[in-house]
Structure formats: structure tokens, C-alpha cells
Structure 1
Amino acid sequence: MTYWEHPIDDCCFDMGNCMMGLCCCCVQIYTNAKRLGENGCCCLILSCLLTPLIPNFMLRKKIRTIHGIRGSDCEDFLCACCFGCCVSCQIANELDARGRQSKYNAQVIVDQPKY
């Protein structure tokens, strides 16, 4: 079992992730879900219409399970309840640190087609 590379109180490690979590938490939840292979639209709808608690809990649990990070479902739930934006930032920072897909799935066009 390992520990979080970025604990819950390290949400300002990456200012881009921090600002996204504070200003556009629903969008960050969508991005985190896509990067973890989950249905981003479903997470976005849940976080906008109901509460970000449910997708944050599910995504935090998934990243903890995938990477063998110490913790429990109860801890994930309490963190998602009390620190919603910080949990979203923590997930984004953890995905960055552990190399899960690029932050922006941009493709660079190397050769232009010839007409």
C-alpha cells in the first residue's frame, strides 16, 4: 500500500488544478472522470444537478483502488462531504503525478495535408 502523492491539504500544489477546482469544480470532475475511464457526462450531470459529493467520492475511491493507496471508503466519503473542491483538486494532482493521460488531450498536427 502506498500513500497519496498529494494529500487533501495539498490542493494548491498545481495552481491550474486549484483554480479549476475552485471556479469550475463540475468541469474538473468531468475531466477527472474521463482521465479515469469513467463516464464524464454522467459525473458532470450528477455534480451540476445534485451534488459533487457522489462523483468525488466515486472517483477518489477509484484512484485509491487503482494505485493501492491507503485509506477507506469512509475516509473517501468524509473527504468528499467536507472538502469537495479540495478532493477534486487532489484527484487531478494525483492523476498528474501518476501519469494518467495528458491534462489536455490535444493532438499536434505534424504534417499538413497537401492539396
Structure 2
Amino acid sequence: MYSSNPKAHDDYSEEPPLSGTATGVPVSSSGEYYDSTQRAAFHIKSRARVPWSSGLFDCFSDMKTCCVTLWCPCITFGQVAEIVDKGSTSCGASGALYALVCCVIGCPCLYSCFYRSKMRQQYALRETPCGDCLVHCCCEGCALCQEHRELTMRGYDMTIGWHGNVERRNRGVTTAPSVEESMSR
């Protein structure tokens, strides 16, 4: 009933074999298989990374966002976080948490860099010009503006939040096209 091999039950760090017994999805005609964790890792690695739609220091291309971010970065962060979290946290809650981290620790970049990483994963963006935490630590305002611009370029209206964007898109899909009366054979 139990294996005499003590490693059989104690050590789960070994990777499963890629050939032999079928334990997942076939990936070739040679009989190789990937299990679900290997498939996920393969999919993430094989996904081509695309460049950001604007540069890190293109802050002044959108003066309104630049000014808001300069005087109250918690607003810009809250808007970005709500879209990246797909509405699971509100703009107000994310912005308030950002402000709290800023007041208590004095370094909100420790919180905001995780959202940059999450956003890059969602949209397969390149990690440029350097790591996410370093970008936020050195250029917090510019990083927030770049993330805001990226989401705007992808069609989000940052002022209405996630649920407003979903509602707007649903209205556009469910409405039937209008037919002009002047059309005839």
C-alpha cells in the first residue's frame, strides 16, 4: 500500500517526467507531456513581450495626469490599481492605502511597484528601462503617469473606473446597429 521509498511521499520538489506516462497535455507527436504547472510556465515564457505605448519620461504629453500625479499621486495610483485589479478594489480604497503607506513608511513605491508588475503580466509589456521596483523607487511619478497613459491608450476611460468601462463596452456590444430609412433598392 505504501511505497518503501521514503522520498516518494516526502519530497515534492522533483519535477515530473516529461515523457513516459501521460500526465498532462501532449505537446508533440513524440509522446512528451506537460502537466498544468509546466504548461502555465511555458505559456508565460513563450508570450512575446511588447513595448509600452509611451516612454517613461513622456510625462508631459498629458499635462492633466502629470499635474494630478505631481500633487496627489494617490489619485493616479488608485485609478491604475482599479483597472489592473479589474474592479476588485475601488479607486478610493487603493488610493487611500497608497496614501497610508506613504504616511507610515514614507516609501509608497514599495506598494505601487507590485501593480506595475501585475500590469506588465496582464498586457505582456517589457520590463524597461529597468526592474519595476527600481523604476518606481527612482521615478514614482513618471511610472504612475506611464501606467495611466498605457491604460488610456488601451481604451480605458480612467475617470469612470473599471465598472464604468465594462458597462460602456457592454452597451456598445448589445445595441443593434441602426438602419437608415433612406436606404432602398
Coarse TM-score class (shorter-chain normalised): 0.7 to 0.9
CA RMSD of the aligned region, Å? 2.1
Q: What are structure 1's unaligned runs of at least 5 residues?
A: 108-115
The one of 67, 70, 93 equivalent to 1:19 is 67
Partner in structure 2 of residue 65 of structure 1: 121
Alpha-carbon distance, 1:44 to partner:
4.2
2:97 to 38, 42, 50: 42
What secondary structure is seen at the aligned counterpart in 2 of 1:8?
A: coil
Instruction: Please name the residue that 2:171 is paired with.
Output: none
The answer to whether 1:104 aligns with 2:143 is no
Does structure 2 retain, via aligned residues, the 8 Å contact 1:32–1:92?
yes
Q: Give the number of equivalent residue pairs.
A: 105
Matched, 1:92 2:148: yes
* Separation in 2, partners of 1:105, 1:76: 26
TM-score normalised according to structure 1 size: 0.78
Structure number with the higher helix fraction is 1
Segments of structure 2 that go 5 or more residues without pairing to the other structure are 1-48, 165-185
Q: Percent of aligned positions with the same letter in both sequences?
A: 27
Give 1:93 deviation, angstroms: 0.7
Query: TM-score scaled by structure 2?
Result: 0.51
The letter of the residue matching 1:66 is Q
Contact 1:11 1:90 in 2 (8 A): yes
> Highest CA radius of gyration, 1 or 2?
2
Is 1:76 aligned with 2:76? no
Which structure ranks higher in relative contact order (CA pairs < 8 Å, sequence separation ≥ 6)? 1
Residue identity in the other structure for 2:78: Y
For 1:97 and 1:60, the matched residues in 2 are separated by 16
